[in-house]
A and B are shown apart, each in its own frame.
Chain A
Amino acid sequence: MVQRHSFAKKVQMIIVLTLVAIWAAFPIYWAIMVSIKPRAETFSVTYLSIPFIQFQPTLQNWIEDLQNEEIRRAAFNSLVVSTTSSLLALFLGSLAGYALARFRFYRIKNRDITVWFLSQRILPPVVVVIPFFLIMKTLNLLDTQLALILVYTTFNLPFAVVIMRQMFKEIPEEIEEAALVDGCSHFDTFLRVALPLSAPALAATFILCMAFAWNELLFALILSQKEAVTLPVFIAGSQQSRGVFFWFAATRSLMAALPPTILALLVQPFIVRGLTFGAVKG
């Protein structure tokens, strides 16, 4: 669809592109600006809030927030919970994904198993939130990192299975066959041949799982009170209990959102595929 553009069309295009750029970037830009504005000027200086012209930037909000013990603990919890659960999901998921890609199941067909996994992902979290709460309460796991790790592993696992199945399907089988002929066991073949060949896919799946777990709010809200509070829970609570401190809304939003955003940008070519569970190739 290559067409020639007239001058009028070019101008039109530039206007549209500018609007798109503003639409996409403004909230993030605004957050950065609010986070470095002097507090008294949060709303008295507005419109585009251009630093050095409209206000003198300050790092006061950042310094104060980064020294906040509660925030540090929440960030640490988020990090531990999201990496551990993603690793677990990736481990179990790549095993199952490999099984679904390479072996044939007879009693229940491969694609039905795949769709079953997928249907777990469709489940609205709020449906299982109550039993999870009661189970964790019974097991004395409320307000622990472990409870969140178990939950996030569960929710990332179907994703990992479906994606890794696809990735393994794309590796030519011949290499693994050769390894088997040479006397490798199935597990050795998986570990030494299939996994290294799909390393980029593993990394990308890990990153997406981590971003999902990092951003999750509902489960964390229910399963943590103090010790295991994650960043999303912390920032949700910082609004409700102590009134809105807009400058902290900005710093904390950025602290929570920048890690998953930056990670996701690293795996850009993989995102379409990941978010459609492999249904659309990016």
Chain B
Amino acid sequence: MKIDLGGRNAKFVFLLPAVIWTLFFTVFPLLYSLRLSFFRYVLGKPEQFIGFENFLRAFGDYKVANAVKVTLIFISIAIPAELLLGMALALLFNQKIPGRRFFRTLLTMPLFFTPVAIGLLGLTIFYEEGGPINSFLGLVGLKVPWLSHPTWAMAAILLVEIWQWTPFVFLVLLAGLQGLPEEVYESAWLETSSGWQVFRWITLPMLQPVIIIVFLLRLIEAVKIFDIAYSLTAGGPGTSTQVYSLFVYRSAMKFFDFGYASSLAYLLLVAISLVIAFFFRRMREIYE
């Protein structure tokens, strides 16, 4: 498969700069913050070793519990919604549709729209008195307190997130669908005329690897949510949309409680690593 082109050390010259860079800039900081998480360290004061106290504090901290809850709610609504909508769109555009390329382009646009910018823009879109959404809802007599009510603020963040990332799911699933062999479908349509049957027993199983990749990538990114919550609701009202990253950021940069914030960050790292470990074999197979 791979041919050793004859070099003995050349290969290390190619590989090592990137490895050293990554070791220096991620592994070293990771070790540094692991150490920090065992210290009481508030900026400007001397650090003090306190063992597991930060971690114990985290488990008893209702703010941590809230941040975890908010993040979990966010993930467990955003990802299924994106997958379902993305799948629906992919199936729709896998047919012969006029202007398919136009729509693909249109749906590519949200993907790279600066997240903090769409959050800020959300302030005007969700504006309660005369914002575009409420003005249309007003036609049927509704007025939604988008950013001033805890539940609706979460809904607003979710809508922005779904707007931005459904296109990703759509594009990847569409690529997956177009890679499926035509012949299987031809024979399937001879057996049944039910679109659902074909989807359930042919499309879904064949598309499964792609669906898992999309799901994983979305999961990894959704856990990191920060920008939208920061700019659209700033975690509010109250702490109703204070997602985990935002909470850690505030512990560090507002209260300068670096030791505690590091332990919080590490707990997130452990949680993510567990999820990844669960899918690790699959990931290795993909990059075989």
**What residues make up the interface of A, taking CB atoms closer than 8 Å to B?**
1-3, 13, 16-17, 20-21, 23-28, 30-31, 34, 42-44, 46-49, 92-93, 95-96, 98-100, 102-105, 110-115, 117-120, 122-135, 150-151, 153-154, 157-158, 161-162, 173, 176-177, 180, 185-187, 189-190, 211, 214-215, 217-218, 221-222, 231-232, 235-236, 239-240, 244, 246, 249-250, 252-254, 256-257, 260-261, 263-265, 268, 271-272, 275-282
Q: Is B245 touching A126 in the complex (CB atoms < 8 A)?
A: yes
Beta-carbon nearest neighbor of B119 in chain A: A236
Q: SS class of chain B's interface: helix, strand, loop or mixed?
A: helix
Interface SS of chain A: helix, strand, loop or mixed?
Answer: helix
Q: A124-B245, A260-B112, A264-B108 are in contact. Are A217 and B234 (CB under 8 A)?
A: no
Q: Decide if B3 touches A177 in the complex (CB within 8 Å).
A: yes
Contacting pair A232 B33 (CB below 8 A): no
Report whether A49 and B132 are in contact in the complex, using a CB–CB cutoff of 8 Å.
yes
Distance A92 CA – B23 CA, assembled complex (angstroms) = 13
B261 within 8 Å of A (CB atoms): yes
Say yes or no: A217 contacts B217, CB within 8 Å: no
Instruction: Give 6 nearest A-B pairs by CB, closest first.
Output: A43-B130, A99-B14, A96-B18, A103-B11, A131-B29, A253-B117
Q: Which residues of A contact B185 (CB under 8 A)?
A: 1
Nearest A-chain residue to B232, judged by Cβ:
A239
Closest residue to A110 on the B side, CB-wise?
Answer: B2
Which chain B residues border A25 with CB–CB below 8 Å? 106, 109
Q: Give 17 pairs: A residue, B residue, CB < 8 Å, sorted on A.
A: A17-B97, A24-B167, A27-B121, A31-B121, A42-B124, A96-B18, A105-B11, A115-B283, A118-B283, A128-B26, A154-B25, A217-B115, A256-B114, A257-B114, A264-B111, A271-B108, A276-B217
Tell me if B286 counts as interface (CB < 8 A to partner A): yes
Evaluate contact between A95 and B26: CB separation under 8 angstroms.
no
Extra A-B contacts (14), CB below 8 Å, given A3-B95, A253-B120, A271-B108:
A1-B94, A20-B92, A24-B167, A46-B130, A96-B15, A103-B14, A111-B284, A124-B272, A129-B248, A129-B249, A153-B21, A177-B5, A232-B116, A282-B175
From B53-61, B72-80, B150-158, B262-270, the one touching the partner chain is B262-270
Given contacts A21-B106, A31-B121, A122-B276, contact A127 B269 (CB under 8 A): yes
Tell me, rounded to whole Å, the shortest Cβ–Cβ distance linking B195 to chain A.
Answer: 8
Any A CB within 8 A of the CB of B6: yes
Contact A250 B124 (CB under 8 A): yes
Does B220 have its Cβ within 8 Å of any Cβ on chain A? yes
Give Cα A133–Cα B113 distance, bound, in whole angstroms: 27
Across the interface, do A103 and B132 meet the contact criterion of CB distance under 8 Å? no
Query: Who on chain A is nearest to B264 by CB?
Result: A126
Report the nearest B residue to A104, measured CB to CB: B2
- A102 near B114: Cβ-Cβ < 8 Å: no
Are B272 and A218 in contact, CB atoms less than 8 angstroms apart?
no
Q: Are A218's CB and B268's CB within 8 A?
A: no
The CA-CA distance from A236 to B231 in the complex, in Å, is 6
- The answer on a CB contact under 8 Å between B163 and A135 is no
Q: Which residues of A contact B21 (CB under 8 A)?
A: 92, 153-154, 157
Q: Counting chain A CB atoms within 10 Å of each CB, which of B2, B95, B120 scores highest?
A: B120
Question: A271, B130: Cβ atoms under 8 Å?
Answer: no
A120 & B15 in contact (Cβ 8 Å cutoff):
no
B231 to chain A, nearest CB (A): 5
Given contact pairs A99-B14, A217-B115, A126 touches B268 in the complex (Cβ within 8 A): yes
Answer whether A20 and B107 are a contact pair too, CB < 8 Å, given A103-B11, A186-B10: yes
When C-beta atoms are compared, the residue in chain B nearest to A162 turns out to be B287
**Contact (Cβ within 8 A) A239 B123:** yes
**Residues A161 and B18 in contact, CB atoms below 8 Å apart:** yes
- Bound CA–CA A129/B265 (angstroms): 9
User: How many whole Å from A104's CB to the nearest CB in chain B?
Assistant: 5
Name the B residues within 8 Å of A275 (CB-CB): 111, 168, 171-172, 217
- Do residues A261 and B112 form an inter-chain contact, with CB atoms below 8 A? yes
B231-275 interface bits toward A, Cβ cutoff 8 Å, 1 = contact, 0 = none: 100100000000011001100110000100110011011001000
Known contacts A96-B17, A126-B248, A154-B22; A118/B287 CB under 8 A: yes
A250 and B30 contact, CB distance less than 8 A: no
Q: Are B118 and A27 in touch, CB under 8 angstroms?
A: yes
